[in-house]
Amino acid sequence: MQPIKRDELNRLMSSGEDFAIIEALPKSEYDHGHIPGALSMPLETLAAEAPRQLADKSRKIVTYCASADCAASTKAAEILEGLGYSNVSDYVGGKEDWKSAGLRLEGSEIYDENLKGDFMEDGQGEANAVSSRTVEDLESLARDYQKDFRTRNTGGDDSYFNPDHQSGREI
């Protein structure tokens, strides 16, 4: 197994070269944001999933996890090598290093990041990532919008968003 640094991984991704990138964290962590193009193969299922999804054992594979303090990517690389994969690299810095360089993640986490920027005014942030959100996430986001709207535009007056007030019932 060879270590790979962020800049080298970024160049590899930009080159168009055929390789696989594997996130070794639980699926829930993958769903919250992952390096673009990554496959979710948690350690618990890696030995079973790899032969099905990675038929070519000479193909370049890069593993990663949460950060340099996380050992899951190194363990994943060791498992892959034990299965006979011959071209495995470990991106030890993981998602933390990737994000700290300002590089983009895919998944639901990126939705919230899009909405915090200039895209909020023209609605592009919503259009870019709604498909990756659950109903619960969208409901939570709507509540956050309402709270932000009240704070900025109504001085904190909740009556506009209170269903009892809108129906004419006494509140």
> Which CATH number does the domain housing residue 75 bear?
3.40.250.10
In a domain, 128, yes or no: yes
In a domain, 25, yes or no: yes
**pTM for the whole structure:** 0.64
Question: Do residues 64 and 135 share a domain?
Answer: no
In a domain, 29, yes or no: yes
Q: How many domains does the chain have?
A: 2
Average pLDDT of the chain is: 78
Domain that holds residue 90: 2-103
In a domain, 36, yes or no: yes
52-103: per-residue pLDDT in tens?
Answer: 999 999 999 999 999 999 999 999 999 999 999 999 999 999 999 999 999 9
The secondary element (H helix, E strand) that includes residue 157 is: none
Tokens of 122: 């023209």
In a domain, 84, yes or no: yes
In a domain, 164, yes or no: no
Neighbours of 140 (CB within 10 A): 12
Tokens of 8: 């080298």
